C-alpha cells in the first residue's frame, strides 16, 4: 500500500470498542505495522525526493498515534460512564467541598462566646423601622440614621428596611425575654454602598448583648479581651477609643494589637500597631426601656463586629469582593483551624 492509500484509510478508520482499538494498534503501531514497508523503501527513493517522502511517512505515523490515543481516551470515558450506572461501585472521583471562610470565622466566634455562656439568636433580614432604628434610640429624622446607608423597601403603605445591623435581633430578644440575657446574633446585613475592594452592599456581622444586674464596663472590657485572645492568640492586647452609637452610652471602638507585625508597625495597621475590629458600649437605658426591661434594675453591654473584617485579618484577604464571588479556586483554600 502506498502513502496516499494509507492516509485515506487512516481518515476513514472506525474504532468503537476495545477490539477494533487493538486491531488498529497492531496494523499501524505494532511491531509488524504497515508503515515498516514504507520506511524500508526509503533506500530506493531518489535522493532529492527522500526528504519529502520521509516527512510524509512520519506524518502518517504521527496521525496514527494521534488517532489511537484519542480513541483510547474516548473509550475509557464511555467505560467510566457505563460504570456509573452500577451504583454499587465506588465513585471515580469524589469531590470534597470546602468551608466558606466566613462560615469558619462565624463558627469560631460562636463557639468562643458559647464557652462563656452566650446563646445564639437569629432574626429576619427584612426589618421594620422599630427593630432596626427606633427601639435602638434612633429618633425619627435623627442624623444618626444616615450613619448606616439603608436600603428601604415599600410594601403597601408600610416601609421596611434591609437590616443594617443585627442589633435588630437583640431588640427582638429583649422584647421576649427578661434578664439575664447573654446572646450573640450572627447574620447578613445590608448597606447602600458602592461595591469596591473595601466596601460592599452586604456583609456579615456578629453582635453580642449581655444584660443582668450590675453589669459594668469592666465586664465588657474583660469579655472583649477574652474574645480577642481566643481568636487572635494569647499575646493579643485590646484598646478602647471613645466613639458614638445611638444605642450605647458610653460607646467605644475596639482595636486589637496588630497580629501581623506584633505591633511594630506595618502597612495593614498603617504603622499604628493597632487594628480596629468592632464597636461596643453600655446599652443606653432608653433602649432597655423601649424593649420592656427595667433600666433601674438592669444594665448591659453590647458589641458588634463585621465577619469580613475578622476574616480579612486572619486570612490576609485584602479584597472584600472575593467573599461573595464564590470562585472555587478561592474557596477551596480554607480549612477549619487553619488560622
Ligand atoms: N450595631 C453597630 C454597627 O452595626 C455595632 C455596635 C453594636 C456598636 C453594639 C456598639 C454596640 O455598626
Q: Which atom of ligand 1 is nearest to the CA of 251?
A: 10
Q: State the pLDDT at residue 222.
A: 98
CA–CA distance, 24 with 35 (Å, rounded to integer): 13
**pTM for this structure?**
0.73
At residue 87, the pLDDT reads 75
Gyration radius (Cα) of the chain, Å:
34
Q: How far apart are the first and last CA of the chain?
A: 68
Beta bridge partners of 274: 257
| For the chain, domain boundaries | 3-84, 101-124+164-334
Alpha helices in 13-160 (DSSP H): 18-29, 35-40, 47-83, 101-114, 129-132
d(CA 207, CA 228): 14
CA of 304 to the centre of ligand 1 (A): 4
Strands 202-212 and 299-306: antiparallel
Pocket test for ligand 1, best of 147, 148, 205, 207 (most atoms within 8 A of CB): 207
Rounded CA separation 238/275 (Å): 9
Is the separation of the CB atoms in 272 and 265 below 8 Å?
Answer: yes
The atom number, within ligand 1, closest to the CA of 209 reads 9
Spatial separation of the C-alpha atoms in residues 66 and 295, rounded to whole Å: 83
Helix extents (H) in 84-200: 101-114, 129-132, 167-176
pLDDT for 207 equals: 98
Q: List the beta bridge partners of residue 181.
A: 211
Find out whether the beta carbon of 207 lies less than 6 Å from any atom of ligand 1: yes
Write down the pLDDT at residue 89.
75
99: CA distance to ligand 1 center in Å? 27
Backbone angles phi, psi at 155, to 5 degrees: -130, 110
CA distance 107 to 97: 17
Each residue's pLDDT expressed in tens, for the chain with a length of 339 residues:
889 999 999 999 999 888 999 999 999 999 999 999 899 998 999 999 999 999 999 999 999 999 999 998 888 776 655 555 677 877 777 777 889 999 999 999 999 999 999 999 999 999 999 999 999 999 888 776 766 688 989 888 888 999 999 999 999 999 999 999 999 999 999 999 899 988 899 999 999 999 999 999 999 999 999 999 999 999 999 999 999 999 999 999 999 999 888 889 888 889 999 999 999 999 999 999 999 999 999 999 999 999 999 998 999 888 999 999 989 899 989 988 776
Instruction: Kindly report the CATH number that applies to the domain delimited by 101-124+164-334.
Output: 3.30.930.10
CA gap 13, 31 in Å, rounded? 20
Tell me, using a 6 A CB cutoff, whether residue 283 lines ligand 1: no
| pLDDT for residue 79 | 63
Q: How far apart are CA 167 and CA 164, in angstroms?
A: 9
Q: Ligand 1, atom 10: nearest CA belongs to which residue?
A: 280
pLDDT for residue 213 = 98
Residue 42 has what DSSP assignment? G
Q: What angle do CA 172, 176, 177 make, to 5 degrees?
A: 115
* Nearest to 160, CA basis, from 180, 130, 184, 198: 130
Amino acid at each position: 500500500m502506498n502513502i496516499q492509500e494509507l492516509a485515506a484509510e487512516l481518515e476513514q478508520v472506525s474504532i468503537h470498542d476495545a477490539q477494533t482499538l487493538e486491531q488498529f494498534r497492531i496494523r499501524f503501531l505494532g511491531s509488524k505495522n504497515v508503515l515498516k514497508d514504507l520506511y524500508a523503501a526509503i533506500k530506493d527513493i531518489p535522493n532529492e525526493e527522500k526528504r519529502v517522502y520521509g516527512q510524509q511517512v512520519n506524518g502518517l505515523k504521527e496521525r496514527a498515534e494521534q488517532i489511537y490515543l484519542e480513541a483510547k481516551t474516548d473509550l475509557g470515558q464511555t467505560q467510566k460512564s457505563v460504570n456509573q450506572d452500577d451504583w454499587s461501585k465506588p465513585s471515580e472521583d469524589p469531590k470534597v467541598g470546602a468551608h466558606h471562610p466566613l462560615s469558619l470565622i462565624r463558627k469560631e466566634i460562636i463557639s468562643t462566646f458559647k464557652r462563656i455562656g452566650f446563646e445564639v439568636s437569629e432574626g429576619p433580614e427584612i426589618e421594620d423601622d422599630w427593630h432596626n432604628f427606633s427601639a435602638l434610640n434612633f429618633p425619627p429624622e435623627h442624623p444618626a440614621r444616615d450613619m448606616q446607608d439603608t436600603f428601604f423597601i415599600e410594601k403597601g403603605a408600610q416601609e421596611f428596611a434591609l437590616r443594617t445591623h443585627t442589633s435588630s435581633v437583640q431588640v427582638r430578644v429583649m422584647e421576649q425575654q427578661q434578664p439575664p440575657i447573654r446572646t450573640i446574633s450572627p447574620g447578613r446585613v445590608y448597606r447602600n454602598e458602592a461595591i469596591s475592594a473595601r466596601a460592599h452592599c452586604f456583609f456579615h456581622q456578629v453582635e453580642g448583648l449581655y444584660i443582668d444586674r450590675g453589669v459594668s464596663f469592666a465586664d465588657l472590657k474583660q469579655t472583649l479581651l477574652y474574645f480577642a485572645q481566643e481568636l487572635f492568640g494569647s499575646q493579643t492586647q485590646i484598646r478602647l477609643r471613645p466613639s458614638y452609637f445611638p444605642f450605647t452610652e458610653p460607646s467605644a471602638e475596639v482595636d486589637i494589637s496588630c497580629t501581623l507585625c506584633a505591633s511594630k508597625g506595618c502597612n495593614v495597621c498603617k504603622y499604628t500597631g493597632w487594628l480596629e475590629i468592632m464597636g461596643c458600649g453600655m446599652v443606653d437605658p432608653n433602649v432597655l426601656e423601649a424593649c420592656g426591661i427595667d433600666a433601674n434594675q438592669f444594665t448591659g453591654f453590647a458589641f458588634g463586629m463585621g465577619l469580613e473584617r475578622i476574616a480579612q485579618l486572619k486570612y490576609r484577604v485584602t479584597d472584600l469582593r472575593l467573599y461573595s464571588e464564590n470562585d472555587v479556586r478561592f474557596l477551596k483554600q480554607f480549612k477549619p483551624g487553619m488560622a
